[in-house]
Structure 1
Amino acid sequence: MNDVYRLRLQAREVFATHPPILAYVFNWYGSVFNVLLLAYGLAYWKLFYVFLGVAGQILHYSIAANKAVLFSVPFMLIISASLKRWRARFGALIMWGLIGMIVVSVLMDVLLFKRPYVTAFAVVRVILMPGLLTADYYDFFSTHQWAYWSYSFLRYLIVYPYDREPPFLIGQIYFHNPATSANANLWADGFANAGFVGVILVSLVLGFIMWIYDSIMRNKPAVLGVLCLALPSFLLSNASLQTFMSTKGFALLLLWLLFMPDPLKHQVGLRFSDREEITWSLQHSTRPKRSYT
């Protein structure tokens, strides 16, 4: 675990000495490009793209030690298999999958590692920490001045009242480490900027963004749409909405999906388990129909 954080700190120092665009491109490589390769390969049964996506995520992890990027690979594989075999029970599978993840994580730490290594990420970081950080943001900004996005897109209009951005401010106060970036979800960030009004505003903006996403994916396979949201959904639970759209690259993902060609419009006989997708492919095929009379 110490090696992970040391590697992550080294990567942060390297990116700090280079133009900011390099850090953006590197983040997009793990959260957009490789995710698209994996989702495209799994949705259309193209194993070469799956291989490229898996190799890309491993490479990304070896450079910056981002555990979310690494765990996105088995996460997307499980989601793909679940959707194609048990779509009608997908919601229940998600619930039981989370319960199983907790049980397996505890057993692995007890029987194999003898310390809370797997649970530190799979349970504490993924499930417990976002809630704890939300409470910390609420506790601090309930009694202190709101930021009004003056450290972000309104920095040229409003003076920021603190000496560091909210994640590092919360890290210094509640974790007693000024280097800790206590990233929270969009609602914690919304409360830090404008209280409950900020929570409502970011919720409305997110709803509009998801409406755009749904419109783009309307004529694409449902499996592809869900897979492309797998990693972004986790990232959104640990980032502000503006960071999610820019640094994490969801705006770029939307543009890519908007112009991405759909093989279903040109191919017939793809091995989809979903009957609607096979029917759509056959109905839009340009092959002449055979006559058996």
Structure 2
Amino acid sequence: MFERLMERKRFIISLGIYFVLLCYSYYFYFYIFQDYTYQVGYALNLNFFKLIEAIIFTILLGLVYFYYDINKSIYLTYSFILYNLLFVPLSVFYWMSDNARPYFYMVVISFLILEGIFLFYRGFAKRERRYRSNDLYVYLLALTLFLFFAINIYAYIKYGHSLYYLLNLEKVYDIRFKARAVIPTYLKYILQWSALVVIPTSIAYFAKIRRYYLIVIPLIVQALIFTINGSKFYLFSLIINLFVFLIYSEKLMYYMLPALNLFITSVLLLKNNFIMSVGIRRAFFVPQSLSFVYYDFFTKHPKLYLSSSILKRFIKNIYKIDSPFIIGRYVYHEPQMSANVNYIANAYSHIGFVGIIIFTILLALVLLGFEYFSENNRNRKYIVLISFSSFLALVNSSLLTTLKTHGLLIALFMSILFLKSFRE
């Protein structure tokens, strides 16, 4: 009981520090370090009424994580991560740039729905559930990992580049554009699923059977995949994935906020242009700026109505391109720019506010899938390792893209295989 009280106290203090650090880092990076006073998208128009709103809803939505133990729920862990990486930075950006109030409240409602569905499930779900392992699942899991690894090696032999790019991340754009042109679409999906789901699953498998030395195999394959298409997200997401897995395994999810505070403080103290660009601008504020840009554009222009999704055969896309390229072309005047945005803003670009509600419910159902199969299972911690990289894409990608391209559905499938492959 005492430990739980200390966790709650730590959560409140850390949340307050996190909010203040984000406010300061926004001001410091854009208006002192880079002097971006006149750059479009990052205005400094402090609105203290909106500050009050931001604080109220940050506290209100944080009450669920204050009351319930995050460490005992995959659903709550993932919604907590979205709260920290999406909602709190958006609240800071909202009041410091004096941005659109209607969209901010749409995001608030989205998180209320996400948390409300958890509370509903919590109230009615049966707690006791037992699973038995089956050799069929073990063989199926091993076969799946082997097939993906074989395809990855084939792709590297045919399309791979030198490991030199691992030490020169700023030059990966040279191979990224080449990869877009020459790699077949089906192989792009397989590489994405491998990097975000299959590699973490193999690490989880070797860790579970305590063959830790074999973990070097998926790490090497991950490096090879990176040299094929130059996606830095593969490298950074795996590092973040392992970090989240470790703190979840040790029931330290409440230390996530102190860790974020330490990270932001370190980045601010280093004052390195590249590190600050990635650690402050890209990680926290580019997604929020793009969210309000999406809202502003699709409030004034026709919405997509899922015409760039699996329904594109039945609905005409008047723009003839997907929403990230629409924003790149018509807002930033860069036709080749892909302005990816989080699942909430993307949902608005398709069906407006109703789309936000629909896609939030769909996301909740996916999280309930992870929750249902992992509840009361001692191997639950490995599900975070298997699925977190694909889940993290929601901060910068649409829900449908995350489910398909980034492999969140594959992650759910692999999680079920993993849980059924081992006895409790």
Into which bin does the TM-score normalised by the smaller protein fall? 0.7 to 0.9
TM-score (norm 1): 0.80
| 1:90 partnered with 2:287 | no
Identity of aligned residues (%): 26
* DSSP 3-state at the match of 1:117: helix
Describe how 1:151-166 pairs up with structure 2 within 5 A. 151-166=308-323
Is there any run of 5+ residues in structure 1 with no aligned partner, and where? 266-280, 282-293
- Partner in structure 2 of residue 4 of structure 1: 172
Letter in 2 for 1:5: Y
Counterpart of 1:196, as a letter, is F
Report if the CA contact (8 A) 1:43-1:80 is conserved. Answer: no
Instruction: Kindly indicate whether residue 281 of structure 2 is the aligned counterpart of residue 117 of structure 1.
Output: no
Contact 2:267 2:279 in 1 (8 A): yes
Structure 2 letter corresponding to 1:143: K
Please name the residue that 2:64 is paired with: none
Check whether the contact 2:346–2:398 (CA below 8 A) recurs between aligned residues.
yes
Determine which of 94, 104, 112 is the counterpart of 2:266: 104
Distance of aligned partners of 1:116 and 1:226 in 2 relative to their CA distance in 1, 3 Å threshold = same
Q: 1:51 to 1:195 in 2, by over 3 A?
A: same
Q: How does 1:141-290 map to 2 (within 5 A)?
A: 141-218=298-375, 219-260=377-418, 264-265=422-423
Residue equivalent to 2:292: 135
The amino acid across from 2:234 in the alignment is: V
Structure with more of its chain in helix, by fraction: 2
Higher relative contact order (CA 8 A, sep 6+): 2
Alignment-derived partner of residue 285 in structure 1: none
1:80–1:257 CA distance, 2 compared to 1 (3 A) = closer
Residue type of the alignment partner of 2:177: L
The 10-residue stretch of structure 1 (124-133 or 204-213) with the greater mean CA deviation from structure 2? 124-133
Unaligned stretches of 5+ in structure 2?
Answer: 1-168
What does residue 268 of structure 1 align with?
Answer: none
Q: TM-score, normalised by structure 2?
A: 0.56
**1:22-101 equivalent positions in 2, closer than 5 A:** 22-42=187-207, 45-85=210-250, 87=251, 89-91=252-254, 93-101=255-263
Task: Specify the code of the residue in structure 2 equivalent to 1:223.
Answer: K
After TM superposition, the structure 1 stretch with the greater mean CA deviation from structure 2, 243-252 or 134-143, is 243-252
Cα offsets for 1:224-279 (capped at 9, x unmatched):
122223212321111111111111112122222222365652xxxxxxxxxxxxxx
Structural RMSD (CA): 2.1
Asked whether the 8 Å contact 1:83–1:223 carries over to 2, the reply is yes
Instruction: Give the Cα separation in 2 of the matches to 1:180 and 1:59.
Output: 26
In structure 1, what residue type is equivalent to 2:171?
D
User: Residues 287 and 341 of structure 2 are in contact (CA less than 8 Å); yes or no, is this contact kept in structure 1?
Assistant: yes
Equivalenced residues, count: 255
The aligned residue for residue 271 of structure 1 is: none
